[in-house]
Structures are given as structure tokens and as C-alpha cells.
Amino acid sequence: MMFWYNHDVSGWGWFAMSSGMILFWALVITVAVLLFRTLNRPQEHTHTPATPSAEDILRERLARGEIDEDDYQRRLNALHAGPLTKP
């Protein structure tokens, strides 16, 4: 039974144990907060391509030569004018 007695921890030992416990709990709390924030973040779908706008499609058609510049301007003005209304 002599092993369990007379092995006092010095001041540095208490400091090291206290520092270790503080660092351990700081690490556990940090991991928990980061995990919580990651799980509650809205999902971003980066693998789906963005849908091109009507102006982008017009620009591509002009670049491919499917429409001429006058047709491009006419269609672009129609896009900016808004939806057509029937009388």
C-alpha cells in the first residue's frame, strides 16, 4: 500500500493538469461549435450549372452567327421592354 501514499503532485503538476483539462474542454467545445455550424449551414449546390439568362442566350446566338446584329438589338429591346400584353 505504500505505492498510493507519499506521491504528492507538485505545483507544476497541478498547473500542467489544469492546463491540460482547460485545453481539452476548449477543443471539445470548439469541435462541437464547428460541427453545429456546419450541419446548420444551408446546402449549396455547386455541381449544378447556372441557368443562362435570356441575354446570355442572345449573345451566344449572335456569336454563333444564328442571328444578325439588327435581330439581336430588336430582341434585346423586346426583352428590356417587358412582357407583351394582349389588348
Is 30 among the domain residues?
A: no
pLDDT digits (tens, 9 = 90+) for 53-83: 889 999 999 999 999 999 999 999 988 887 7
Q: What angle do the packed helices 54-64 and 69-81 form, to 10 degrees?
A: 170
**Residue 70 within any structural domain of the chain:** yes
Within a domain: 74: yes
Cell numbers for 83: 412582357
Domain tally for the chain?
1
In a domain, 64, yes or no: yes
Residue 45 belongs to a domain: no
Q: What is the reported pTM? A: 0.41
Is 26 inside a domain boundary?
Answer: no
The C-alpha atoms of residue 69 and residue 82 are separated, in whole angstroms, by 20
Q: Helices in 1-87 by DSSP H: which ranges? A: 11-39, 54-64, 69-81
Q: Does 50 or 61 have the greater pLDDT score?
A: 61
Residue 45: per-residue pLDDT: 64
Q: Kindly tell me the burial class for residue 15, based on how many C-beta atoms sit within 10 Å of its own C-beta (0-12, 13-18, 19 or more).
A: exposed
The answer on pLDDT for 1 being more than 50 is: no
Tell me whether residue 28 is in a domain. Answer: no
Q: Tell me the residue range of the domain where 76 lies.
A: 54-80
